[in-house]
A and B are shown apart, each in its own frame.
Chain A
Amino acid sequence: MTSNEQPVLEVNDLTVAYRIGDRWLEAIRDINLAIQSRQIYGLVGESGSGKTTLAMSILNYLGENGKILKGSIVFDGEEISRYPREKMRAYWGSKIALVPQNPLSSLNPTLTVGEQVREVLRLHLKMTNIEAQQKVLELFERVRLAEPERVARAYPHQISGGMQQRVMIAMALATSPRLLILDEPTTSLDVTTQASILDLIKELIQGREMAVLYVTHNLGVVVELCHRVAVLYAGELVEDAPLEELFSQPMHPYTHGLLMSVPKLGQSKSEQALSAIPGQIPALSQRGQGCIFQARCPIALEICSERPPLEKVNEQHLTRCYRWQEIAQGEIALEALFEAEGEAMSMAVPISSEKGTASALDAQGIVVEFEGQRSFFESITRRPARKVKAVKNVSIQIQPGDTLGLVGESGSGKTSLARAISGLNEPEAGSIRIYGLPASPKLSQRNREVLRRLQMVFQNPEEALNPFMTVGESLRRQLFVLQGIRGEEAQRKAEEMVQAVQLPVEVLNRRPNQLSGGEKQRIAIARAFITNPDIVIADEPVSSLDVSVQAAILNLINRLQGSFHNGLLFISHDLAVVGYLADQIAVIYLGALMQLCRAADLFQPPFHPYTEALLSAVPSVELGRKVEAIRLEGDLPSPSETIEGCPFHSRCPRKIGQICEQQAPPWRIDESTQKRIYCHYTLEELSQLQSKTRYSGL
């Protein structure tokens, strides 16, 4: 990339504001960017950082309530930011293309996907329908859609999310645009699908005469793909550097914090707490004149209340921090500072308990079925309803003080299993014991003692708390109903618990709409722990939170569990997060366990072939970590299909042959480590096949 070449896209001093009420609030401020041809430019930011606003401004597609206050956008030497909509039509889809985050909402549900791509070709390339038809098949083949003819005739809802995104990519590339904007194209997809989409993007983009802006919140994806990365925080560009330099020598405290708050594959809680950035992104209306990161920065000085300029570290590297020289020379140990920030907060007082030696949770042979729809004819002929097996005979045990991490992609049955154990959905079969005490599969038949012993933290903090009750009311109600504690004692316990989740006592009088997402999740966690349950089920508790907030919540869960010494069932789709928090890990696929082992052993061969594919699919935030790419073919089979043999055989890259389709595999158990793998290969054979792969000790 020679920098004297004219860039395809140049953004100069761009400031964009939104009208909220009767005020104009700046969503992005003084942004400067230049993307060369053949360059993939990563734009990283959390939600609220203004990254989508920037992408939309470049497209000149801001809403009615958005306006460019200042600056220019130069595309191929033309200043386009003031062009009217009519004029932009000639650019959209032909010279500038967009691959959006949610493909389903961007495709027209009433037209076949083939027709939608043909329309682009007819409009921008003036092709005839027959030519377009030919070209569509060609494009679909290039984006590796199996059976292009069939896909072209399908309506959007008839194909999977991964296929929809492939169609969007085909559409975007159909006209060979000069600028391609990818706005979180893999965020709504599973890791294994994400990995193959990233491979595809890499393959199709590299070497093309095209500039690419890749917008994402996922640092791992950036490492896989980008040449240069800009970090956006609360609407300001805080750092802009070539990929290697940004990851090896970040010069802004925010970049530092962001890189350190993401657990790396193989990192474990036993080594160190995650470094969390305290606080959260300031709202649009609360952005002052000083350094935008000042309020959360561990090294802020007085001078930081004046906005620092974007300074040059070297020709290629820009940062917006007064103290970058100190950071560069290693005079400030940011790592230690962020950690200290996390540890300085108050610790929960351990609540003593008389917990014995039995398993905190012992669930045996859990089966969860959902009834499929029956046609009228089927119901009058009394044909049995089609059953969809969401969980097939799964057994798990959790020891007191232990964390079992349950990992699987969407549709794997991990949430169904959790809900069956908690009693929210009644399982078809299976027994549940909490400290040897049998828990009825029906929630209504569980008595108060059993209910107290098992509590849950839900995925979505926005819906976890009753919006019409104060935090105090919610917590006190929990104590009253489960333990009969009321009055001053309840108030005292609620205060203690709120402090244990590191929030001020005043929060008790607040309603959920006055709290941020992270704060709400802290309260939801407080509610689950307040009655000192024996087992807490946390179903994706951090997946809807921002990266910089996630770390703090993970640390919190870890600390609470340490002091309460209860069992934790932690469910996540994120291997790094599960690997960090869990002691034991269970990998689940299509409702069946594939592998069960100690967390540390997950990253060592032998792996179950599915675990292997999952691990290989995770984009890593570490530079230069190259592993053998193992990609799964096809989509998750429909859960209503009955699958003989191994559930994974239809996508398994290490399939042996007929035996996998016909016989259920045995559990292969390593006596010394208690690693259990559900596969026809023996552990020795798997070790041999996977000998090259290592994840831990990096």
Chain B
Amino acid sequence: MKEGITVSEKIEGAGRSRPAPNQEISASLVGIKNFFIALTSKPASALGLFIFIFFLFLAIFGPLIAPYGINEQIVSDAGQPPSPKHWFGTDNLGRDVFSRVVFGAREILTLAGFGTLVAVFFGTTIGLASGYIGGWFDEVLMRIFDGLLAMPLLLLALLLLGTLGPSKNSVLLVIIIVYTPIVARVVRSVVLSVRQRGFIEAARLRGENLAYILFREILPSVLPALAVEAALRFSYAIFLVASLGFLGVGVQPPSPDWGLMVREARNNVNQMPWTMYYPAAAIAIVVIGINLLADGVKRVLLESK
């Protein structure tokens, strides 16, 4: 069965002469447009993209959407079930759950997003250098990372937060420390497959410096794998922030963190279940959405290969 596929590819590849006319238009805009067409061709990926954009929208325009302030207490309305006035109801302090969920989007997306970004930056740099240089440098770094990765993620996070003390910055640091090794490993594995290629050796033969080889010659080949990994890390970072909030070691009250909201709602879950349902649902939907998106990006990148 496989034979046929490879044969046809061989034929197509070997005989390729001049590029087809549509390939000649090198405008990257077309590339981006084609990427989104390919991405949204599968309902699951389209849904993931929609969810992501929806929450991004909430994060950016939250203050315009939310009918009440973050910590605005309407004591007279405390503990109300969902109603036209308070779509998601109110909590025991009289805060509007809908508004807090909306504000929470910004809180969690910036925290997880920024943390992921920094982790991707460090992970990429370390992965590139470690994979390309190899030898002792690689060996030592990778064994340290193995040590870090050997611990259950949440346990490691709890240990770090125990030392650092709970705060927003500590959570950020935890995300960076926990995800840098994972990103570095992914990048390194791609580098190992690229470093022996002719164009890298040609760069060495003309005496390019390390930074040029790492970032100009190798990095572009790593980007596809990196994009998928970054998206996945982002969704797990959201999950991690929420988990830490729920455990009470992450973001502190009165922040509208979703995990924290679930934690606070725990005590009154029998009387006011809505205070728990909505933030919990928000966590689940965002994480699932971004995972679907990451799968879609991976699929499109594989197809375009």
Contact = CB atoms under 8 A, between A and B. Distances in A.
Interface of A: 18, 20, 27, 46-48, 50, 52-53, 56, 61-66, 234, 279-286, 422-424, 443, 446, 448, 451-452, 454-456, 458-460, 463-468, 474, 477-478, 481-482, 509-510, 514, 516-517, 524, 527, 546
B201 A458 contact: yes
Contact of A53 (B1, B11, B20): B11
B199 A464 contact: yes
Contact of A64 (B1, B11, B19, B202): B1
A458 B19 contact: no
B198 A62 contact: no
Interface string B1-25: 1111101101110111101100110
B254 interface: no
Nearest to A519: B17
B204 A458 contact: no
A18 B17 contact: no
5 contacts: A53-B8, A63-B5, A464-B198, A481-B207, A514-B24
B221 A456 contact: no
B8 A27 contact: yes
A514 B19 contact: yes
A61 B7 CA distance: 12
Contacts of A282: 15, 17
B208 A510 contact: no
Given A451-B206, A467-B221, A64 B4 contact: yes
B84 interface: no
B15 A63 contact: no
Given A52-B7, A63-B1, 7 more contacts: A52-B3, A61-B4, A281-B14, A285-B12, A463-B199, A468-B221, A517-B14
B11 A27 contact: yes
B199 A62 contact: no
Interface in B97-131: none
Nearest to A473: B216
B4 A465 contact: no
Nearest to A424: B201
Contacts of A47: 10-11, 14
Main SS of the interface on chain B?
Answer: helix
B8 A63 contact: yes
B143 interface: no
A66 B10 contact: no
B55 to A, nearest CB: 32
* Listed residue (B10, B198, B199, B217) with the most chain A CB atoms within 10 angstroms of its CB: B198
B205 interface: yes
Contact of B204 (A18, A56, A279, A443): A443
A284 B12 contact: yes
A239 B228 CA distance: 50
A515 B5 CA distance: 22
Given A20-B8, A53-B11, A56-B4, A482 B17 contact: no
B205 A279 contact: no
B206 A482 contact: yes
Given A286-B17, A463-B198, A446 B5 contact: no
Contacts of B152: none
B207 A464 contact: no
Contacts of A284: 8, 11-12, 15
B203 to A, nearest CB: 8
* Listed residue (A279, A460, A474, A477) with the most chain B CB atoms within 10 angstroms of its CB: A477
Given A27-B8, A280-B15, A446-B207, A61 B202 contact: no
Given A65-B4, A234-B15, A468 B201 contact: no
B197 interface: yes
B147 interface: no
B116 to A, nearest CB: 24
